[in-house]
Chain A
Amino acid sequence: MNQLNDIETSALQALESVTDEDALQAWKTAHIGRSSPLMQVFAGLGKLSKEEKPAVGQAANRVKLALESAFEARAQIIKDAALAKSLEEEQLDVTLPGRPAPRGRLHPSTVQLRRMLDILAEMGFQVYTSREVETDEFNFQFLNFPLHHPAREMQDSFYVETEGRGDNPILLRTHTSPGQIRAMRDAVAAAPDPANPPPIRIALPGMCYRYEQITARSEIQFNQVEGLAVGTNITFADLKGTLTDFARRMFGQGARVRFRADHFPFTEPSAEMDVECFVCGGKGCSVCKRSGWLEILGCGMVHPNVLMSGGYDPKRYTGFAFGMGPERQAMLRYRIEDIRYFWGNDVRFLEQF
């Protein structure tokens, strides 16, 4: 029995000086391992008399439990200490830059086109796309720009080299409006009764081309988004309502707009819509050239000649159309001072969007 007390005392004493995992394992082997003195006591139980056996056995078990629980307690202390140490040591410089993952970017024109088309889609205008190289008929004549009309000077064109086409040369479209004719003709062709074609509500996005010097303010190619609504009950008042709604979505619910008379060959009456400068709230700033207003789009009621070109009877059908420039709006929105950035394809520009 004394031997057991000695075993317990010396083991617990030895445990006092154990401070790491290795020493702990060594202690375990030495004091509660198979060949430890304590285990030899258990091994020697068989040789004891019936009288001694229970008492020694009980005492040995008690010592074993005591040592095991002392071991667990010590192990926990060592583990806590190790954790505390490692937490203290593993300090990152959290201000180091993160590891970059590649991030793609949409071209700013695409971003702006999508904003416009998304809003228009919710307003019921479906996207209609058409060709970029057109005939004079589709680009001008069907749109009420007669041959030699002064209005054509507003849209100087790039012509394609051809021979023998007379008054119908091939040119790069100067606006997406040829799509208005194509869309109306498609609808007439698909209608069960061509005299009663269905209403039309489309958005026409795409690249257009004009013969201009390339400067900070003018480019030879640019995107346009046009809207066209044709039906038997569409008025100028509807045009104003639709575009006022569009402007609220595009520029914020508080956006104020104003309409003033203007002239375009393919619409009559025609108007220009200005939106109150969203940069300064109309107080006047460099973006709106101190005027408080930004010219955003041109619009009007579809000219009877255009309806007729499309196969819609202007006595029964009316419609409105509007057109705007994604690059111009992106320039206002992001304060891009030079339009040449758009097709310059410099990644240092593109990466910012």
Chain B
Amino acid sequence: MKLPLSWLKDYLDITGLSPEDIARKLTFGGLEVEEIKYAGWTMPAYGKDDRREFKTEGIAWDRERIVVAEIREVKPHPNADRLTLCDLFDGTQEQVVLTGAPNIFHLKGTGKLPKPIKVAYAKEGATIYDGHADGLVLTTLKRAKIRGVESYSMVCSEKELGISEEHEGIILLDEDAPVGTPLADYMGDAVLEVKINPNMARCASVLGIARELAALLGRELRDKSTHVYTYTGTQGDFATLEITDPTLNPRFVLGLIRDVEIKQSPYWVQRRLKMVGARPINNIVDATNYAMFELGEPLHAFDYDVLVGRVTNSTHKPKILTRAAKDGEKLTTLDGVERTLTPMNVLVCDEKGALSLAGVMGGAESEVTDKTKNILLEGAAWNFINVRRTARQHNLQSEASFRFSRGVHPAMADKGVSLGLKLISEWSGGTVAPGLVDSYPLPPKDPTVEVTPRDVKRVLGIDLTAQQIIALLERVEFKCEIQEPILDTRKPILDIRYSNNESSNIESSNIASPNIESSNIASPNIESSNIASPNIESSNIASSNPESRISVTTPPYRLDIGEGVVGLADILEEIARLYGIENIPATNIADALPPQIGNPIHEWEERLRDLLISLGFIEIVSYRMTSVEKESRLARFDDHVVIANPITPERNVLRRSLLASVLEAAEKNARAESLSLFEIGAVFLPHKNELPDEPRKLAIVMTGRRAATAWDVKDSPVLDFFDMKGRIELLLAGLQLADVSYAPADSAAHLHPGKAAEIKVGDKMIGQFGELHPLVKERYELGASPVLAAEFDLAALTSAQSGFSLAPVPEFPPVYEDIAVIVDESVAAARVESLIRQTGGRSVTDARLFDVYRDEKIGAGKKSLAYALTYQSPEKTLTDAEAAAIRNKIVKRLEQEVKAKLRS
């Protein structure tokens, strides 16, 4: 919502406050100001790099050099047909001003004007926007000759003054504009862009924000009759009403004004509408919009005669009825679009059919035109859900649907219509018909909530007396009644006044906790002299009673207060906001600490990450949303969790495979010399119409060179199966898993059948790894090197038994010996090693394979495995003979079990 401060001033005295002060107050009170746009008012002089508390744009009008002036005669330019020379009076002297403005061109050469034209006049040296430039470019007026005539000043367009983009003609001010007055004083402005949160729907109007700001400032709203347009209660007789479903349409009000003259609105109205972002149309539409921006109640104007022309009943009066649309029903809205409706849409109809899409947009047929004489004005209340869904369904976001879809209190309907009629009569000269036609079948309950000082203490942590609570809530017009008798007259004792002291908004020790016990009750900025002293309160028993029950009744313009415990929370929020969230102290939690449960799975995953990092892997995080096509490069899955409203077809399912994500990342980085990537995260296994399973996985991909090319490293070998296995061994050792075994993987279709292993801890498979199958690899744009891929199931990995047992550090020296045995190719190295260890028992403390050798001399189909053995006894120093005895036992066992031959 754009809030012109000139308009706000109709409701609130803002003397002494800058736009920044107001913006700050609103922002801290829950109405965040997103931008301040100046159009005339004095701006803070920001340097290019200065801090700006708020995003600031716009232009200030020099009070000396930009003034209201009057054109007294429009004369031809001697050398240019399109230009005119205007005799102008700026309040002190006569000037001649050159202009090409088309909207006064018709007055050229008509002699002295019977009524001078009031204009915005910029003198030499004034800084304004360049009207001819694209965008907003500042320019300073200098003397120049244009077609032989000296020019030094200008009559301004809206663009030149930063009011709008309009540069077709100059501004024609209202007749009563005071000549010679600085323009900034006459119509200067600063507009705040205020974000309206759903709980602040009541503030989507000038009055709404004014009321809130008044409360936050502790000032009174101006006693302006406009916000109390009281409905006289007489029932008009120009139409009849029928509401078929009050839950869709709790209230409907009609007013009539006859004999209007459709024309442009006064300039000040047009300017205000432009400042709030509306386009002036004519005095009727402008009046409905103006009333909406002022009060928050959207209005709709019908051409009354069109409706009368459609009447089929005998009374000759239109009968308006509201109902849900029929499925497939059609209505042409006033933007000319024929809309097909659903029962979610609510219609305003007459006997012949639909007239408008309730709360969203009027229909074309009954629209106000230049020929309209009599206006039927509608103000209503609608179910916000229907309006919201209708606006979305038909993509019709408007100022009206914005308000109705957040909820407008039905009590505003007659106020809105009354204001609309008043404005139309002022601006068009029409005559308001007596009374309103009002049907109000479903008035909302304006909830009454009970609150005690104890509640305030319990939730907000501040000590307020009943009187203090009441004083705060009465500022926003809650009706408060204390349930116990109290001695004190209910005098407002709080005055959270506005202060220029910016630090009041900052959490710091010296202001954070206003001392409730002392006279400065709520605000550090309090002016104690005219505030009732809390000493009076201390003598009052009821006020200091934390159990004092205050019943608080919601004022009839807001719909955001609930009942019961919810209503209490709503009221506590009001108290916190008005007390000032910045004024609530900062304390430490005194409550008991909960039982310490921790999160072992999370901690375990973090340990896994640390281990992987220590092994040189880079962590990646991928989009969970992917496509079946992308994943099917790695593997085909029967089904996926399918996104009903994907942002793009490329992200229309949730991933089934984490490895596919990591391979995609590898593909993106295919140019890197070497890649070692991993990701930890969920995959999603669908269950039809139910929540999916979300098992967590670890996927690893390695490819490229083993060592980075450098000044002394050329053509390093590429990473292969055993590079990955080495990392996995270290990883599992880091996790202190015991009884880890590797076996050829036969279930991993995506891996090379000869270079794939499954990893078991005990009997439990925890993952697979290996080289990517050549056919799978072909589907990715990856380099020539083999691609190693691993995937682990984290649930299996976490639940695998950790097998840490400490080995004593040996005291006696070891005996080292190398042996090489020749075995058939089919004998797995792991088998040989386990035979060595079994046979050697405790005495063989290490058996490290250091060479695998194949050669003709050894024989085809054979290989030589060379082991470095360490013999060591925990009890004594082994002799060579003892070592040899163990060795012989081992060799004999290998001969028996795997037909090994000792290689000499």
Question: Given A158-B645, A269-B577, are A260 and B582 also a contact pair (CB < 8 Å)?
Answer: yes
Task: Check: B609 CB closer than 8 A to any chain A CB.
Answer: yes
Find chain A residues with CB under 8 A from B584 CB. 236-237, 240, 259
Query: Contact at A97–B710, with CB atoms within 8 Å?
Result: yes
Find chain B residues with CB under 8 A from A229 CB. 589, 591
State in angstroms the CA–CA spacing of A211 and B647 once bound together.
Answer: 7
Q: How far is the CB of A261 from chain B (nearest CB, A)?
A: 3
Choose one: B405, B461, B616; the contact of A104 (CB below 8 Å): B616
Query: Contact at A345–B507, with CB atoms within 8 Å?
Result: no
Query: Contact at A263–B200, with CB atoms within 8 Å?
Result: yes
State in angstroms the CA–CA spacing of A270 and B460 once bound together.
Answer: 11
Q: Contact flags (1/0) for A244-271 with B, using CB distance below 8 Å?
A: 1100000000001111111101001111
Task: Check: B828 CB closer than 8 A to any chain A CB.
Answer: no
Interface residues of B in 591-648 (CB under 8 A from A): 591-599, 601-603, 606, 609, 612-625, 641-647
Task: Check: A62 CB closer than 8 A to any chain B CB.
Answer: no
State in angstroms the CA–CA spacing of A270 and B614 once bound together.
Answer: 43
Query: Contact at A220–B625, with CB atoms within 8 Å?
Result: yes
Task: Check: A115 CB closer than 8 A to any chain B CB.
Answer: no
Q: A284's closest neighbor in chain B, by CB? A: B51
Task: Check: A88 CB closer than 8 A to any chain B CB.
Answer: no
Choose one: B588, B592, B617, B618; the contact of A231 (CB below 8 Å): B592
Find chain B residues with CB under 8 A from A308 CB. 565
Find chain B residues with CB under 8 A from A196 CB. none
Find chain B residues with CB under 8 A from A135 CB. 691
Q: How far is the CB of A49 from chain B (nearest CB, A)?
A: 55
Find chain A residues with CB under 8 A from B594 CB. 124, 126, 187, 198-201, 231
State in angstroms the CA–CA spacing of A260 and B31 once bound together.
Answer: 9
Interface residues of B in 692-715 (CB under 8 A from A): 692, 694, 708, 710-713
Query: Contact at A346–B691, with CB atoms within 8 Å?
Result: no
State in angstroms the CA–CA spacing of A149 and B201 once bound together.
Answer: 13
Interface size on B, residues (CB 8 A): 110
State in angstroms the CA–CA spacing of A102 and B716 once bound together.
Answer: 14
State in angstroms the CA–CA spacing of A151 and B388 once bound together.
Answer: 11
Interface residues of A in 23-38 (CB under 8 A from B): none
Q: B692's closest neighbor in chain A, by CB? A: A133
Q: B615's closest neighbor in chain A, by CB? A: A104
Q: A241's closest neighbor in chain B, by CB? A: B586
Query: Contact at B620–A133, with CB atoms within 8 Å?
Result: no
Query: Contact at A269–B572, with CB atoms within 8 Å?
Result: yes
Choose one: A105, A262, A305; the contact of B30 (CB below 8 Å): A262
Find chain A residues with CB under 8 A from B38 CB. none
Question: Given A161-B644, A237-B587, are A102 and B616 also a contact pair (CB < 8 Å)?
Answer: yes
Choose one: A149, A161, A343; the contact of B623 (CB below 8 Å): A343
Query: Contact at B507–A238, with CB atoms within 8 Å?
Result: no
Find chain B residues with CB under 8 A from A187 CB. 594
Name the segment of A1-9, A50-58, A71-79, A287-295 touching the other chain: A287-295
Task: Check: B110 CB closer than 8 A to any chain A CB.
Answer: no
Question: Given A261-B576, A350-B618, are A291 and B53 also a contact pair (CB < 8 Å)?
Answer: yes
Query: Contact at B643–A160, with CB atoms within 8 Å?
Result: yes
Query: Contact at A242–B589, with CB atoms within 8 Å?
Result: yes
Find chain B residues with CB under 8 A from A282 CB. 51
Q: Contact flags (1/0) for A126-158 with B, using CB distance below 8 Å?
A: 111101111100000000000011110010001
Task: Check: B52 CB closer than 8 A to any chain A CB.
Answer: yes
Query: Contact at B644–A126, with CB atoms within 8 Å?
Result: no
Q: How far is the CB of A352 from chain B (nearest CB, A)?
A: 11
Task: Check: A47 CB closer than 8 A to any chain B CB.
Answer: no
Query: Contact at A127–B599, with CB atoms within 8 Å?
Result: yes
Find chain A residues with CB under 8 A from B106 CB. none
State in angstroms the CA–CA spacing of A292 and B54 once bound together.
Answer: 10
State in angstroms the CA–CA spacing of A132 and B695 once bound together.
Answer: 11
State in angstroms the CA–CA spacing of A105 and B620 once bound together.
Answer: 9
Q: B596's closest neighbor in chain A, by CB? A: A126
State in angstroms the CA–CA spacing of A128 and B602 once bound together.
Answer: 8
Q: A293's closest neighbor in chain B, by CB? A: B53
Query: Contact at B52–A258, with CB atoms within 8 Å?
Result: no
Question: Given A132-B694, A256-B508, are A159 and B643 also a contact pair (CB < 8 Å)?
Answer: yes
Query: Contact at A104–B577, with CB atoms within 8 Å?
Result: no
Q: B392's closest neighbor in chain A, by CB? A: A153
State in angstroms the CA–CA spacing of A270 and B32 once bound together.
Answer: 13
Task: Check: A17 CB closer than 8 A to any chain B CB.
Answer: no
Q: How far is the CB of A338 from chain B (nearest CB, A)?
A: 15
State in angstroms the CA–CA spacing of A114 and B710 once bound together.
Answer: 34
Interface residues of B in 67-94 (CB under 8 A from A): none
Question: Given A290-B50, A315-B565, are A132 and B624 also a contact pair (CB < 8 Å)?
Answer: yes
Interface residues of B in 1-60 (CB under 8 A from A): 27-30, 32, 49-55
Name the segment of B123-131, B311-319, B668-676, B877-885 touching the other chain: B668-676
State in angstroms the CA–CA spacing of A151 and B849 once bound together.
Answer: 66
Task: Check: B506 CB closer than 8 A to any chain A CB.
Answer: yes
Q: B48's closest neighbor in chain A, by CB? A: A290
State in angstroms the CA–CA spacing of A344 and B385 once bound together.
Answer: 39
Query: Contact at A318–B507, with CB atoms within 8 Å?
Result: no
Task: Check: A67 CB closer than 8 A to any chain B CB.
Answer: no
Question: Given A199-B593, A240-B587, are A258 and B582 also a contact pair (CB < 8 Å)?
Answer: yes
Q: A198's closest neighbor in chain B, by CB? A: B594
Task: Check: A16 CB closer than 8 A to any chain B CB.
Answer: no
Query: Contact at B30–A263, with CB atoms within 8 Å?
Result: yes
Task: Check: B838 CB closer than 8 A to any chain A CB.
Answer: no
Interface residues of B in 359-410 (CB under 8 A from A): 384-385, 388-389, 405-406
Query: Contact at A257–B507, with CB atoms within 8 Å?
Result: yes
State in angstroms the CA–CA spacing of A244 and B644 once bound together.
Answer: 41
Task: Check: A90 CB closer than 8 A to any chain B CB.
Answer: no
State in angstroms the CA–CA spacing of A64 and B641 once bound together.
Answer: 97
State in angstroms the CA–CA spacing of A19 and B767 once bound together.
Answer: 68
Q: A282's closest neighbor in chain B, by CB? A: B51
Find chain B residues with CB under 8 A from A161 CB. 642-644
Query: Contact at B599–A238, with CB atoms within 8 Å?
Result: no
Find chain A residues with CB under 8 A from B603 CB. 127
Task: Check: A61 CB closer than 8 A to any chain B CB.
Answer: no
Task: Check: A10 CB closer than 8 A to any chain B CB.
Answer: no
Q: How far is the CB of A128 from chain B (nearest CB, A)?
A: 7
Task: Check: A235 CB closer than 8 A to any chain B CB.
Answer: yes
State in angstroms the CA–CA spacing of A172 and B200 once bound together.
Answer: 28
Query: Contact at B622–A269, with CB atoms within 8 Å?
Result: no
Task: Check: B684 CB closer than 8 A to any chain A CB.
Answer: yes
Task: Check: B143 CB closer than 8 A to any chain A CB.
Answer: no
Task: Check: B566 CB closer than 8 A to any chain A CB.
Answer: yes
State in angstroms the CA–CA spacing of A241 and B507 once bound together.
Answer: 10
State in angstroms the CA–CA spacing of A90 and B24 once bound together.
Answer: 71
Find chain A residues with CB under 8 A from B508 CB. 256
Query: Contact at A240–B647, with CB atoms within 8 Å?
Result: no
Q: How far is the CB of B536 from chain A (nearest CB, A)?
A: 26
Task: Check: B824 CB closer than 8 A to any chain A CB.
Answer: no
Query: Contact at B621–A346, with CB atoms within 8 Å?
Result: no
Find chain B residues with CB under 8 A from A101 CB. 616
Q: How far is the CB of A297 from chain B (nearest CB, A)?
A: 14
Q: Contact flags (1/0) for A325-349 with B, using CB distance below 8 Å?
A: 0000000000000000011111100
Tell me which of A104, A220, A291, A303 has the highest count of chain B C-beta atoms within 10 A of its own C-beta.
A104
Q: How far is the CB of B394 from chain A (nearest CB, A)?
A: 16
Find chain A residues with CB under 8 A from B55 CB. 289-291
Choose one: A165, A257, A269; the contact of B689 (CB below 8 Å): A165
Tell me which of B50, B599, B690 has the highest count of chain A C-beta atoms within 10 A of its own C-beta.
B599
Find chain A residues with CB under 8 A from B585 CB. 237, 240-241
Tell me which of B27, B603, B620, B677 has the highest count of chain A C-beta atoms within 10 A of its own C-beta.
B620
Find chain B residues with CB under 8 A from A237 CB. 460-462, 584-587
Q: Contact flags (1/0) for A194-228 with B, using CB distance below 8 Å?
A: 00001111000001010111100000110000000
The 15 listed contacts between A and B (C-beta, < 8 Å) are A104-B619, A126-B598, A150-B198, A162-B644, A164-B689, A170-B691, A221-B623, A235-B459, A237-B460, A241-B589, A256-B507, A261-B28, A284-B51, A343-B621, A343-B623
Given contact pairs A229-B589, A235-B461, A347-B675, enumerate 11 new A-B contacts (beta carbons under 8 Å).
A105-B618, A110-B619, A161-B642, A164-B689, A237-B461, A237-B584, A290-B49, A291-B54, A304-B569, A346-B669, A350-B619
